[in-house]
Amino acid sequence: MIDGRGALRRAVTGPSVTYGVIGVCALVFVLGPASGLSASYGTEDALVVAQSVYFQRWGVIPADLLSGSPRALLTPLSALFVHGNWLHLLGNMLFLFVFGAMAEERMGHLRFGVFYVVCGYLALAGYALAHADSEQTLVGASGAISGVLGAFLYLFPRARVTSLFPFLFFLPLRFPAWIVLVFWFVLQWLAARGAGSGPGVAYLAHLIGFALGFLYAWARYRGIRVKAPAAATEGEGQP
């Protein structure tokens, strides 16, 4: 009877943390200057200035973070809910929607929420340590979502996902999750090796988040048999 009530409660609430994070990120983006939807930020040059100030205020600047100021130490938390453009937001939220729900169901709402925030914070902090002199602003949930992908790889390696590959004319193909996620990890690793110190995607934060997520799932759930669901779907955008 207790197990039945617990299953019913999970079915009713669903992956509330995953959906909540998606909702908050979407709301923050729409209300902020990056979306271009709010007339209060102005247009053209004024909008560009507003976006720059906005990202510097809420994003992570490695040089500032390592200075140890209290405000800077909070920016890895705020940066998790800020995105640079529509493609950045939609790509991240797609991955979180696909992989986050199953990971949250396995971990539980509270544990998943803490896991998500900690992975994201440490991924951005790790990137900052590796680029201590950089003044490039980092925003986005990529590090946290990469942690979710790493945990998913350990928890559900045999779950089948549908992926769209641009170089195959977006033909939808189904693969075990471990193939898709290992392929994604290799792409991030290769991109990180070729990345310079200038503006761009923080691939190193992706790698750190992914490794942290996988190691956490291994340490917490090793020896515990996890039953994978029948199917999942995945888009082609990268976090």
Domain membership flag for residue 154: yes
Domain membership flag for residue 238: no
Q: How many angstroms separate the Cα of 218 from the Cα of each of 45, 174, 183, 207, 214?
A: 49, 25, 19, 16, 6
* Residue of 123, 137, 144 whose CA lies nearest to 62: 137
Domain membership flag for residue 239: no
Identify the CATH number of the domain in which residue 117 sits: 1.20.1540.10
Query: Is residue 128 within 8 Å of residue 60, measured between CB atoms?
Result: yes
In tens, the pLDDT along 107-165 reads 999 999 999 999 999 999 999 998 888 888 999 998 999 999 999 989 998 887 655 44
Domain membership flag for residue 174: yes
- One-letter identity of residue 10: R
Domain containing 132: what range? Answer: 2-233
Across the beta sheet with 171-176, the strand order is: 171-176, 160-165, 231-233
Query: Tens digit of pLDDT per residue, the chain (239 long)?
Result: 334 454 445 444 689 999 999 999 999 999 999 998 888 888 888 999 999 999 999 999 999 998 888 999 999 999 999 998 898 898 899 889 988 999 999 999 999 999 999 999 999 999 999 888 888 899 999 899 999 999 998 999 888 765 544 433 344 445 567 677 777 677 666 655 544 443 345 788 888 999 999 999 999 998 765 555 544 444 333 44
pLDDT value of residue 204: 85
Rounded Cα–Cα distance for residues 16 and 108 (Å): 10
* Residue of 91, 74, 76, 106 whose CA lies nearest to 29: 91
Domain membership flag for residue 180: yes
Domain membership flag for residue 50: yes
Strand, helix or coil for residue 56: helix
Dihedral class, residue 104 (left if φ above 0, else alpha if ψ from -120 to 50, else beta): alpha
pLDDT value of residue 134: 85
Rounded Cα–Cα distance for residues 34 and 86 (Å): 8
Domain membership flag for residue 27: yes
Domain membership flag for residue 199: yes
pLDDT value of residue 155: 93
Number of domains in the chain: 1
